[in-house]
Amino acid sequence: MLTAAQRARVALVITGFLVIAASLWARLLWLQVVQPDHWVTIARRQHVQVLELPPVRGAILDRNLKPLAVSLRLTSVFADPRHMKNPAAAARRLAPLLNKPESEVRAQLFRKKRGFVWLSRKIPNHSAAKIRALRIPGVHLIMEPQRFYPNGHLASHLIGFSGLDTQGLEGLELVCDRLLRGDPGWRWLGRDARQRPVGAWDMAVVNPRDGLEVVLTIDRTIQFFAEKALDEAYRKYRAKGASIVVMDPRTGEILALANRPAFDPNRFGESSPEDRRNRAVTDLFEPGSVFKVVTASVALGTKKVRPEDKFDCENGSYQVAGRVLHDHTSHGVMTFQQVISQSSNIGVAKVAMKLGAAALYNGMRAFGFGEPTGIELSGELGGTVKPPQQWSRPSITTIPMGHEVTVNVLQLAQMISVVANGGVLVRPWLIREVRDSSGNVVQSFKPRVVRRVISSEVDGQLREILSQVVTEGTGKAAQVPGLRAGGKTGTAQKLEPNGQYSHSRYVASFVGFIPVEDPRLSVVVMLDEPCFPYFGGTVAAPVFRKVAIDTLAYLRQRDNIVLARHDES
């Protein structure tokens, strides 16, 4: 018979076992009921390796479905160092095929605690075939997409580029990244307790969803014409930079947009940020005399000035508002029509004083200046248009000729298209539609008409005036044989750091449309700091001429269009 002390000890032992059993049951209940997912996840990590399957990035195509950016499938090499039988020997065999130092490959293969390391991404197919033939345990190959730009620098500032993981970094590659990139898939590989592969790579697979295709308004052929002509002028006049926009004035579709300097998106790492900047939308400048198109439209629209009204241009020198205005050539009395065609600063200043600040400001805003165009590109700036209460005393004479305002090239294309299409502001746009890989249209876009800016009557008068700029005025170098063109030249002094206007640095430009009777093209050409001769009529107008001749000939052949011929006799 147990003594009292013995019974107490037995009771204590039994109680202890019961407490331990209860704790174990409580722990099992916690693991099985309350926290099962947590431990299942840990087990899955130990026994399953997950590999992401990248989708194929969607193509970027021109309006005729010609490729501007496509994705190729290349092979990448990775390894599981935990299952390398002889890492040193493997490094020696792999290094020359990967075009890497043996020491670098060896360091990657000896990382035993890592279950996955990239050895090389997107290698040539012949190297991949040789590595595959080696059958090295722990070394695997997988297909990955590689972005390729088949036209090199053509339209590079529009398209932009994507990085190693095909994520859009600049241009439309960045803006449309969510559409283009698609969604990744996944593949699971089973492993035993010793982390040895079991089963096949296709143990469980979720296939990737490839990206969508983006179709642009750009025409690759017209883009080539524009870039060729711009590049010739940029090199000939040793300009700091240059931009061109070719637009369908009826719809606002951008047919071509280019800048110089340019870059090859296939080797974007070799270019500087300066080369990659899309100057047509990011760079602001004082437009100079091309802005007289706005002044002329306001003058005619308010009916305060008629084409035949005469203005004394003071023989090239006119003191007003505390400063002296000059013309590039001395003129006496001229009609308003001649004031514009000969680009008289004095005549335009007198017109503006007749209009008043409020009318001029409202006209600028009606043309869309002072706000971004809203094109599908990042980095666009809206420019500066000061309200009349912020004008200085000379502003009424300087703003009408394109000083004290800043614009970008795209805004000028929007402006001249208003004149070319009958007086309506149509927003520039780049993306026509989005398609899946089977060619089915997922989303399509249409022209964006904002408002009427000038009446059809005023538009007709303005077109005739701008046609005289080309036939009789400062834009003679823009003439196209057999067709009437209209436009305006500009030569704007740039500001020096001290706030004074430079006498050595200029922005030369030309804005135009063709043919006058039924314009099919609006073109803006800008050269930043060209060497002498730096006048817009000399360096920019010939670019318009070359692009117009080549593009209209191409459109005649492509669309079988018939343009109204002009008898130059």
CA 102 – CA 91 distance, rounded (Å) = 6
CA-CA distances (angstroms) from residue 385 to 15, 158, 367? 89, 27, 11
272 is catalytic: no
Residue 507 CB partners (closer than 8 Å, separation 6+): 285, 286, 287, 288, 490, 491, 492, 494, 526, 527, 528, 529
Q: Measured at the alpha carbon of residue 346, what is the angle toward residues 342 and 351, in degrees to the nearest 5?
A: 95
CA 14 – CA 233 distance, rounded (Å) = 100
Using an 8 Å Cβ cutoff, are 544 and 510 in contact?
yes
Q: What is the number of helices (H) and of strands (E) in the chain?
A: 20, 24
Which of 71, 156, 289, 343 is catalytic? The answer is 289
Q: Give 344's DSSP letter.
A: -
Q: Which two tokens stand for residue 226?
A: 């524009």
Helix (H) or strand (E) holding 51: strand 48-53
CA-CA distances (angstroms) from residue 89 to 85, 95, 503? 9, 10, 69
CA 314 – CA 72 distance, rounded (Å) = 66
Using an 8 Å Cβ cutoff, are 251 and 520 in contact?
no
CA 547 – CA 225 distance, rounded (Å) = 6
Q: Which of 102, 111, 104 is nearest to 84 (CA)?
A: 111
Residues assigned a catalytic role = 289
